[in-house]
């Protein structure tokens, strides 16, 4: 008699200890003087280097280290869960702030899916995080260069599972429980196709035999008792994506304004020389601002050597398509430089034309004066 086929149904996993970190990144200014901000903030604060739990070279770090501000808060409801009684705000010197809410959870993995759905476009956390950023910006206003709270915002969720009630290896999570992992990462309650499951769980990385990180475009799953360093890198990448989106939008606006200026009809009303200089200064300032922000973001995290966190960063960069954002921004900076050069050439041409007309008028006057002067005496 043939033996019955083995069951392929994955056992139900129960989370014994877990924490979800809901991240909200904001653009608040051209730059932040972190030392001055630290002097003005009265809440609990610290400079926040990457919190290594693995061996890493001293040069793998933030430069300069961002400023972490911790505030006590009344826990906020997120579906059936509540946030803890404090919230962290991380200030970066290139003018960004990341607000982080922690939410503890236990029980079956299906609760993570429910929590992920509750976090999606959560109006309560969005409003609270924006209010906290605006209050923080008001308290450190002298430390912020050209303050602004941009409309663009970038959110991200990190689910850290510290322990299961029944031990489960990373290999089992990637095989037997891959469909559940994909549903949590994509916040999709319906059954996903095999292709979608493979894509959602394709960006995986482990350091030890008992840890695993699954990184997707809107959420990450960390199976690790100590994942502070990985969370730091993920939080920075989320802020970097925000800055790339913001900078791309600013460059689009700058290109539209510059093209409009460049394409004005030359036979229009005469323009004062100072108008051209003002337009050139405006385009030049946009170039400098964009270049400074681009370099500030890209140089904030030092990635030298083939270290584990560097590989984590490359993985999340690939998932966020940061290389494509960089290429788009560089292309638009080059286009803006081309427009600036054309405007500069046009302004120089107009100045030469004015000088030519002045010379023609002076020559005509020098020829006419000897004939006009005798007539004037008569």
DSSP string, 226-237: --HHHHHHHHHH
Cβ–Cβ under 8 Å, residues 162 and 137: no
Domain ranges, ordered by start, for the chain: 14-227, 236-366
Average pLDDT over residues 147-172: 91
Which one of 9-13, 228-232, 333-337 scores highest in mean pLDDT?
Answer: 228-232
Average pLDDT over residues 149-173: 91
CA torsion 313-314-320-322 (nearest 10°) is: 110
Each residue of 273-292: pLDDT tens digit?
444 566 667 666 776 777 77
Name which residue leads in pLDDT, 251 or 286: 251
Compute the Cα dihedral for 105, 109, 111, 112 and give only its sign.
positive
Give pLDDT, residue 264: 61
Tell the burial category of 65 from Cβ atoms under 10 Å away from its Cβ (0-12, 13-18, 19+).
middle
Neighbours of 40 (CB within 10 A): 13
Give pLDDT, residue 253: 81
Give pLDDT, residue 279: 64
Give pLDDT, residue 277: 64
What's the mean per-residue pLDDT of the chain? 83
pTM of the model as a whole: 0.82
pLDDT band at 336 (very low <50, low <70, confident <90, very high): confident
Lowest-pLDDT choice from 80-94, 234-248, 280-294: 280-294
């Amino acid at each position: 008699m043939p033996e019955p086929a083995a069951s392929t149904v994955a056992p139900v996993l129960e989370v014994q200890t877990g924490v979800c970190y809901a991240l909200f990144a904001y653009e608040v200014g051209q730059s932040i003087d972190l030392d001055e901000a630290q002097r003005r903030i009265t809440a609990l604060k610290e400079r926040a280097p990457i919190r290594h739990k693995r061996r890493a070279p001293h040069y793998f770090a933030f430069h300069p280290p961002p400023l972490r501000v911790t505030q006590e808060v009344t826990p906020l409801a997120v579906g059936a869960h509540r946030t803890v009684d404090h919230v962290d705000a991380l200030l970066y010197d290139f003018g960004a702030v990341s607000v982080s809410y922690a939410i503890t959870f236990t029980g079956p993995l299906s609760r993570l899916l429910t929590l992920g759905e509750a976090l999606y476009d959560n109006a309560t956390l969005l409003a609270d995080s924006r209010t906290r950023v605006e209050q923080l910006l008001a308290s450190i206003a002298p430390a912020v260069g050209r303050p602004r709270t941009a409309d663009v915002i970038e959110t991200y969720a990190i689910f850290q599972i510290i322990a299961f009630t029944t031990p489960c290896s990373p290999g089992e999570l990637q095989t037997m429980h891959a469909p559940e992992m994909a549903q949590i990462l994509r916040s999709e309650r319906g059954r996903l196709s095999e292709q979608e499951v493979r894509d959602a769980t394709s960006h995986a990385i482990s350091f030890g035999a008992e840890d695993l990180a699954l990184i997707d475009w809107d959420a990450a799953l960390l199976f690790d008792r100590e994942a502070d360093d990985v969370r730091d890198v993920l939080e920075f990448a989320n802020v970097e994506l925000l800055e790339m989106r913001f900078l791309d939008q600013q460059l689009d606006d700058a290109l539209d304004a510059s093209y409009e200026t460049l394409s004005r009809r030359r036979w229009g009303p005469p323009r004062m020389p100072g108008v051209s200089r003002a337009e050139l200064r405006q385009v030049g300032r946009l170039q400098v601002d964009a270049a400074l922000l681009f370099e500030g973001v890209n140089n904030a995290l030092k990635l030298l050597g083939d270290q584990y966190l560097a590989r984590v960063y490359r993985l999340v960069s690939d998932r966020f398509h940061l290389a494509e954002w960089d290429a788009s921004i560089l292309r638009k900076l080059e286009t803006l430089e081309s427009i600036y050069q054309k405007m500069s050439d046009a302004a120089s041409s107009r100045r030469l034309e004015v000088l030519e007309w002045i010379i023609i008028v002076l020559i005509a006057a020098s020829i006419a004066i000897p004939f006009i002067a005798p007539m004037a005496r008569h």
